[in-house]
Amino acid sequence: MNSPTGSGSLVLAEELAPLVAWGTAGWTLAGTVLGGTLAAVAVPRLLEHRGPPSRWSVSGCAVATGLAVGILAVRFDGIELVAFAFLACVGVVLAAIDLLERRLPRRVIAPGYGVLGGLLLLEAVGSRRWGNLLTALAAAFVVALVYLLVALASRGGLGSGDVRFGGLLGMAMGWQGWPAVVTGTAVAWVAAAAVLLVARLLGRRPGAIPMGPFLLVGTLAALVSS
């Protein structure tokens, strides 16, 4: 025989499910609209050697941002969701520029540190999760330092933009703990290596591949799985 408490919890969960679904749909729609707007307005101003992005590029950014924000909305809420949704929006813009021009603009990444760090600080104040904040800051430094060493060792295989972007993403993953940092970094590099291997098996020599998209995907995977 089911207990009254268990039955009440089940009923409450059933009542809240539609609200959660509508909330996720709302965040997905907001991410899609914002992603498309940023791609149409911000990306052309950040490109140096190309004209305005095509409609396909704008649509791709809109879909990618909406999907990323929607997935994050399933896992997070409140200020955490705002922080990571901001990262997804900025990350998709940066990934698009990296695909188009093989670079990650510093004037987008540098303010991102302040915005993401400020939002995580607000969350730490409200939830008393000071340990998470310290780990996030430490992870940003450690990931950026490791990527800097890789960039110096590879002599151009990794750019300064990748180093800065890696630090920003490391801050987000660090908020979830060091296992998330390891997971996100591993996913990013394994995915990049797999794409490079497939390209070579097909007889292509892509040389240096844009790491921005892979770093972003790895971070999102780590955030939602941690």
Place of tokens 């188009």: 100
- Assess whether pLDDT exceeds 50 at residue 6: no
In which band, very low, low, confident or very high, does the pLDDT at 123 lie, cut at 50, 70 and 90? very high
Tens-place pLDDT, residues 12-33: 334 434 444 557 888 899 889 9
pTM over 0.75: yes
- Assess whether pLDDT exceeds 80 at residue 155: no
Q: Are 69 and 31 in contact (CB under 8 A)?
A: yes
Q: Give the residue, 207 or 139, on which the prediction is more confident.
A: 139
Q: Which of left, alpha, beta for 2 (phi over 0: left; psi -120 to 50: alpha)?
A: beta
The length of the chain in residues reads 226
The rounded percent of the chain whose pLDDT value lies above 70 is 87
Query: How many structural domains comprise the chain?
Result: 1
Q: Are 90 and 57 in contact (CB under 8 A)?
A: no
- What's the rounded Cα separation, in Å, for the pair 129 and 192? 33
Range of the domain at 123: 4-225
**What would the two tokens of residue 98 be?**
């990296």
